[in-house]
Amino acid sequence: MATQHPDHANIPYWKTNNDAFIGAQEEVEECYRSFQDLHCQEYMWDWEGKYVDEAVVDKLFSTYYKFFKKRRLGRDVFLTFRLPNIWLEKGYRLARAYMGILTFEDLSNDLGFDFPPVFEVILPMTDEAKKLFYLQKTFAQVARLKQQTFGDVRKGFDYLRVIPLIEGIPELTGSFQILMDYLDLHRKEYRHRLDYLRPFIARSDPPLNAGIVPAVIAAKVALSEYYRFGDTAGIPVYPIIGVGGLPFRGGLAPDRIQDFLEEYRGVRTVTLQSAFRYDHPLGQVKKAIALLNKSLPKGKARIYTPAEIKAGAVISDIFTRYYQRTIEPLSGLINNFVELLPQRRERMLHIGLFGYSRGIGGKRLPRAIGFTGTLYSLGVPPELIGTGRGLREIKDKGLLPDLKLFYRNLEKDLRYAGYYLNKENLRFLSQRSPAWAQVQRDVDCIEKHFGIELGPEKVEHYLHRNLVSSIYLLYREGKDNSRQILEAAKLRRSMG
């Protein structure tokens, strides 16, 4: 599933204006390119916190008619809306999305394409089953109103499939009950059971609030719980996971496919964000997508026992405590620095009406890409924060074997993040705040635990180190560091 997450550093291969920024009007071509050039099977049209072209299907069919006549939208390739969560941001655009879905189906029918172009939507930050059901009920109401108002002779479809995107760590680990509650509501309303469900794991955002290890544990527990739900209910489940390229946000990149497939066995759909598609050589990207399309249907998830899940919760709490204790006092610097990162999409401003931010305690944090990009640009990858002290404590408590049940690639991920560690910057920062000094302790504990030295190994790592040294020094002096920020992002192949 190609997505519109704005984490790329380089200019997309299909653009001709030498500008890495992708406007809402350009995303129609991007969608087509994802299908035609890259052989992605699905594209997420993202209404959550960003502007979109609301005539997307009209433009796809009129501009690329020959392609979609051959490869039918809704049968061979798929367009999936991520709707705004109206319980967290105002629902001004939800009705427009509904009407778009309904009129797209009219257009498709008139063209003789026979399949609704959009029939499935994603609800972000799902925490209650009744919210999934609310979308289905209100969509059906709008469909009936449209038919009555415009005198449609042909009855169009009025059943909208909903994908629960579960994001909070408590919600992920408690996802079995959310899905069972939804099943009960669905059965009572429609008098039949679901024929399948595609529950969605958020892997990119949860580490902002808890750190990388709790995020991985929560994702693994959720994957296990999704399949347990499927077995209990007798319903096929096809889990989706939302990931970025750097380890903190999931670690899915064209040059790390096998590690990812081993870590998240049982996932059936993955998000390919902008950095995956545009910050690596095009040939490598195409091969990686072909490998994913071939391999994802084959993975078998581990189903965790109640005792294992309980141990995972204990481990998660330990790492979360160290991470949150450190990040909260650093939030001011992070929020100031994130404004320096170049923008890549038409995001809506968080003004209380559009969108919502993440946070710890009473402190606001940027979205995941900006957060991760800020810390990498400072030379202190967020994967390291809280992790070293957490490892030391779980070792003392004899919990290392339990951690290995949940996180196969921990050492690999920390080594990878460590390539972009700038120890000099961390030393400077440690002199300014005790919280940064705790990150220095994390680095020391990680190096001792694995018997490694974190730091650059290849030429591009050393070049990145030099750039982030300049970034920090220029930032301290209040001078422009935009060129260095962009060049460093290109070297690590992701904005954040």
Label residue 359 by pLDDT band (50, 70, 90): low
Cα diameter, the chain: 73
Q: Are 49 and 89 within 8 A, CB to CB? A: yes
- Provide the pLDDT for residue 114: 86
Beta strands (DSSP E) in 314-411 are 358-360, 363-365
Tell me the pLDDT tens digit for each residue of 437-487: 999 999 999 999 999 999 999 999 999 999 999 999 999 999 999 999 999
Label residue 191 by pLDDT band (50, 70, 90): confident
Polymer length in residues for the chain: 496
Residue 307 neighbours by CB distance under 10 Å: 9
Tell me the pLDDT tens digit for each residue of 268-286: 999 999 999 999 999 999 9
- Provide the pLDDT for residue 34: 98
Distance (Å, rounded) from C-alpha 143 to C-alpha 157?
8
Mean pLDDT of the region 2-20: 97
Label residue 409 by pLDDT band (50, 70, 90): very high
The dihedral through the CA atoms of 409, 197, 3, 320 has a sign that is negative
- Provide the pLDDT for residue 361: 66
What are the beta bridge partners of residue 44? 80
Cα-based torsion angle of the residue sequence 76, 77, 79, 80 in order, rounded to the nearest 10 degrees: 80
Tell me the pLDDT tens digit for each residue of 237-263: 999 999 999 999 999 999 999 999 999
Distance (Å, rounded) from C-alpha 321 to C-alpha 248?
17
Mean pLDDT of the region 318-346: 96
| DSSP secondary structure letter of residue 197 | B
Distance (Å, rounded) from C-alpha 28 to C-alpha 46?
12
Q: Are 222 and 171 within 8 A, CB to CB? A: no
- Provide the pLDDT for residue 353: 33
- Provide the pLDDT for residue 111: 95
Tell me the pLDDT tens digit for each residue of 150-178: 877 677 789 999 999 999 999 999 999 99
Average model confidence (pLDDT) across the chain: 95
Its pTM stands at 0.96
Q: Above pLDDT 70, what percent of the chain? A: 97
CA distances to 69, 79, 103, 223 from 108, in Å: 10, 13, 9, 35
Residue 350 pLDDT > 60: no
Residue 357 pLDDT > 50: yes
Instruction: Tell me which residue of 317, 323, 448 sits closest to 382, measured CA to CA.
Output: 323
Pair type for strands 42-46 and 363-365: unpaired
Q: Are 220 and 406 within 8 A, CB to CB? A: yes
What are the beta bridge partners of residue 200? 165, 240
CA distances to 16, 86, 170, 173, 196 from 184, in Å: 51, 23, 21, 20, 14
- Provide the pLDDT for residue 352: 36
- Provide the pLDDT for residue 355: 41
Q: Are 219 and 241 within 8 A, CB to CB? A: yes
Tell me the pLDDT tens digit for each residue of 110-135: 999 989 999 999 999 999 999 999 99
